[in-house]
């Protein structure tokens, strides 16, 4: 029991002390509950691709395992409609921590302890991110990484389930380029000649991922698909 209490304390210590105030804010919780209701009502699967609004996002983290203490360092995102990037509608924030990243992660991401100390707490970052996203569908590259961190952070920081649908870029690339066996964002960017201005920066990776999603949207439309449901139906026949 003592070990369990210590584990919970370690996890909760990852968040800023403003957590209690955030969790007790009825306006914030009402907003999140209303947002969840909107997502359930929205029929994104049958929305024509030209009208489909998505938020392409990326996170930088200290590692791969949020349930073992790894945490989100930054979140970056850009909005899209159809295959068009809405370049004036971006989101970026580092996340507060009084601990700096490891030397390896700092070298990889460029994120420093000073940046984290002056960043807003995870509660505020998540609240602002959800207000930015609204009820739009999310897109990420290797989305399982983003999904597990967002689920963990949403519950630990806001005590609410993460309910946004996240599509992986492979959802389209496996249809338009079924013979490609690429894994990394770098490989796809090289293949499609996508310029990534700063690899492992959450916003720049999100923009590069959005350009990859844009390629996928254009190509599935050329193949005759009108909306996500048709793509789902095709993928189901491949299994």
pLDDT one-digit tens code per residue, 90-140: 999 999 999 999 999 999 999 999 999 999 999 999 999 999 999 899 999
CATH of the domain at 214: 3.30.420.10
* Interhelix angle 26-41/143-158, nearest 10 degrees: 140
Q: What is the pTM of this model?
A: 0.84
Question: Contact 154/129 with Cβ under 8 angstroms?
Answer: no
Residue from 89, 161, 153, 163 nearest 124 by CA: 153
pLDDT digits (tens, 9 = 90+) for 26-63: 666 665 666 556 555 567 889 999 999 999 999 999 99
- Please state, in angstroms and rounded to a whole number, the distance separating the CA atoms of residues 166 and 184: 18
Compute φ and ψ for 54, nearest 5 degrees.
Answer: -135, 160
Task: Provide, rounded to the nearest whole percent, the portion of the chain with pLDDT above 90.
Answer: 74
- Please state, in angstroms and rounded to a whole number, the distance separating the CA atoms of residues 191 and 147: 26
Q: Which two three-digit tokens encode residue 86?
A: 């809405």
Instruction: Report the pLDDT value the prediction gives residue 13, as an integer from 0 to 100.
Output: 40
Instruction: Report the pLDDT value the prediction gives residue 235, as an integer from 0 to 100.
Output: 86
Q: Which residues contact 95 (CB under 8 A, 6 or more apart)?
A: 71, 72, 73, 74, 75, 116, 119, 120, 121, 122, 125
Instruction: Report the pLDDT value the prediction gives residue 193, as an integer from 0 to 100.
Output: 96
Q: Return the biggest CA–CA distance within the chain.
A: 60
Structural domain count, the chain = 1
Domain hosting 74: range is 2-238
Q: How many CB atoms lie within 10 A of CB 95?
A: 28
- Please state, in angstroms and rounded to a whole number, the distance separating the CA atoms of residues 185 and 194: 10
Average pLDDT, the chain: 87
- Bridge-partner residues for 55, per DSSP? 79, 138
- Please state, in angstroms and rounded to a whole number, the distance separating the CA atoms of residues 167 and 31: 24
């Amino acid at each position: 029991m003592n070990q369990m209490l210590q584990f919970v304390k370690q996890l909760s210590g990852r968040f800023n002390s403003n957590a209690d105030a955030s969790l007790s804010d009825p306006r914030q919780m009402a907003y999140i509950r209303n947002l969840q209701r909107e997502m359930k009502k929205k029929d994104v699967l049958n929305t024509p691709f030209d009208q489909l609004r998505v938020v392409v996002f990326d996170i930088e983290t200290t590692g791969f395992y949020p349930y073992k203490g790894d945490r989100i360092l930054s979140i970056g995102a850009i909005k899209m409609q159809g295959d068009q990037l809405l370049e004036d509608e971006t989101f970026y924030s580092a996340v507060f921590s009084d601990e700096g990243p490891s030397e390896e992660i700092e070298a990889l991401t460029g994120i420093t302890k000073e940046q984290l100390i002056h960043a807003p707490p995870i509660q505020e970052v998540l609240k602002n991110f959800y207000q930015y996203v609204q009820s739009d569908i999310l897109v990420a590259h290797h989305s399982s990484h983003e999904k597990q961190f967002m689920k963990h952070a949403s519950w630990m920081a806001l005590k609410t389930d993460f309910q946004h649908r996240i599509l992986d870029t492979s959802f389209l690339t496996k249809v338009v380029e079924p013979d490609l066996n690429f894994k990394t964002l770098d490989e796809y960017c090289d293949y499609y000649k996508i310029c990534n201005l700063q690899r492992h920066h959450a916003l720049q990776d999100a923009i590069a991922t959005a350009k990859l999603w844009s390629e996928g949207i254009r190509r599935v439309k050329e193949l005759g698909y009108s909306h996500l449901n048709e793509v789902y139906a095709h993928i189901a026949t491949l299994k």
